[in-house]
Amino acid sequence: MDNNILDSILGAIPQPIIAIDASERILAVNSAAVSLVGHSAMQHSYVTILRQPALLEAIEATLKDDVPRTTKYLSTDGAQDTTYKVTCRAAPGVGKSGTKAIILFFEDISQMEEVGQMRRDFVTNVSHELRTPLTALIGFIETLRGPARDDAKAATRFLNIMQDEAERMNRLVGDLMSLNRVEGNERVRPTQRVVLNDIIQSTCHSLQPLALQAGVKFEFESPELPVEIYGDSDQLTQVFTNIIGNALKYGASGGRVTLRMTTIAREAALRAPGVRLQVIDYGAGIDPVHLPRLTERFYRVDGHRSRELGGTGLGLAIVKHIINRHRGKLNIESALGKAPPSQWCCRPSRYREF
Ligand SMILES: Nc1ncnc2c1ncn2[C@@H]1O[C@H](COP(=O)(O)OP(=O)(O)OP(=O)(O)O)[C@@H](O)[C@H]1O
Ligand SMILES: [Mg+2]
């Protein structure tokens, strides 16, 4: 084929491609590959340009026996690492005077690697979260069978701790299943009509004993008219239980929690009428460095404190998925020690007043 045509075809391919001839020189570099190896790579020995041992070995071997090989190549432009899967194949008759060439195809697999890493991190996190209570349980069982066998007082104390730990594991498994379910139906829009005012009232009613215990008073600021949206009432109850529960767990020192609902004629983010719900506590607040990561699974500002309070670190991850399903937006604002320090706004999509 005419060299110009070949160059045009190679140039039009969006993935990086490099050709190496039998004398080990770089014969062709398409435009996508220029960002990987630079403009001046042509005619240089591939060994001085590609420099990563796994790739060099693969090229050398394919040059010898013509057997295709795949390997990985990591490229970094200073700010970002990109992982490529590279396939080396021999192409007979392409090189000078009809000798063979080795063609390298680069396929960006960074995203797949990232997903794999996320999955591994998730499994590590879950195992770690389960192992802590399990280790405690095993320890107490051993103590109860051994040194504390005849100590009724110690047995009662240990059994109480064991119950707490077992309940924590149960909550964790429940939250994981809930997260799974929510992720599964995130794209299915809710079709029930629900009245938000009622859901908030009933959530606060269920949380009243906790609020009393924490010395917190609820303040309601909501429109007179009931606000109706398309929603899933169980899931919305879960959202408010977690957000208000967090305000009670971490922001109780403020002594009050404001629940404010406002209807907005035209919400810019939704390009439609909207309703905004704010749960404001007056506690210690959250350092803004943590805000972008709060909705990640198992992310906690103070892991020890959250665990002590029975938290699994999955609450806000579940909240985010449920709000997404309702075409809403979760917005978390806070600063350390500023009043009002923590402010949570959710805007479950369209609303209808009646
Ligand atoms: N109102 C708040 N004030 C201060 N910190 C908060 C507040 N709400 C949440 N946080 C921080 O954000 C973290 C994540 O909250 P999230 O609800 O996801 O998990 P959790 O409360 O620890 O556990 P779970 O909700 O599963 O029981 C908490 O561990 C806490 O450190
Ligand atoms: Mg929580």
Q: What is the pLDDT of residues 310-328, one digit of tens each?
A: 788 999 999 999 999 998 8
> Is the pLDDT assigned to residue 344 strictly greater than 90?
no
- pLDDT classification of 208: cutoffs 50, 70, 90: very high
Query: For 326-351, what is the mean pLDDT?
Result: 70
Q: What pLDDT shows up at residue 39? A: 82
- pLDDT classification of 58: cutoffs 50, 70, 90: very high
Whether 178 lines ligand 1, by a CB cut-off of 6 Å, is: no
Q: What pLDDT shows up at residue 224? A: 75
Whether 306 lines ligand 1, by a CB cut-off of 6 Å, is: yes
Amino acid in position 98: G
Whether 341 lines ligand 1, by a CB cut-off of 6 Å, is: no
Q: What is the rounded distance in angstroms from the CA atom of residue 195 to the CA atom of residue 90?
A: 67
Query: For 339-348, what is the mean pLDDT?
Result: 59
Asked whether the beta carbons of 281 and 342 are under 8 A apart, the reply is yes
CA atoms within 13 A on the CB side of 319: 24
| Cβ atoms within 10 Å of 280's Cβ, excluding its own | 23
Whether 301 lines ligand 1, by a CB cut-off of 6 Å, is: yes
Q: Which residue has the tokens 């990640």?
A: 296
Q: Which has the higher per-residue pLDDT, 338 or 121?
A: 121
Range with the largest mean pLDDT of 32-41, 81-90, 306-315, 323-332: 81-90
Helix (H), strand (E) at residue 146? none
* CA 301–ligand 2 middle distance (angstroms): 11
In this structure, which residue's CA is closest to atom 8 in ligand 1?
A: 246
* CA 58–ligand 2 middle distance (angstroms): 50
Whether 242 lines ligand 1, by a CB cut-off of 6 Å, is: yes
Pocket test for ligand 1, best of 176, 246, 295 (most atoms within 8 A of CB): 246
Whether 251 lines ligand 1, by a CB cut-off of 6 Å, is: yes
Nearest ligand (C-alpha, residue 300): 1
Whether 281 lines ligand 1, by a CB cut-off of 6 Å, is: yes
In this structure, which residue's CA is closest to atom 1 in ligand 1?
A: 247
Whether 312 lines ligand 1, by a CB cut-off of 6 Å, is: yes
Tokens encoding 282: 């007056």
- pLDDT classification of 78: cutoffs 50, 70, 90: confident
Q: What pLDDT shows up at residue 352? A: 43
Q: What pLDDT shows up at residue 354? A: 36
Whether 302 lines ligand 1, by a CB cut-off of 6 Å, is: yes
Q: What pLDDT shows up at residue 24? A: 92
Helix (H, G, I), strand (E, B) or coil at 220: strand
Q: What is the pLDDT of residues 96-134, one digit of tens each?
A: 677 889 999 999 999 999 999 988 989 998 998 899 899
* CA 272–ligand 1 middle distance (angstroms): 31
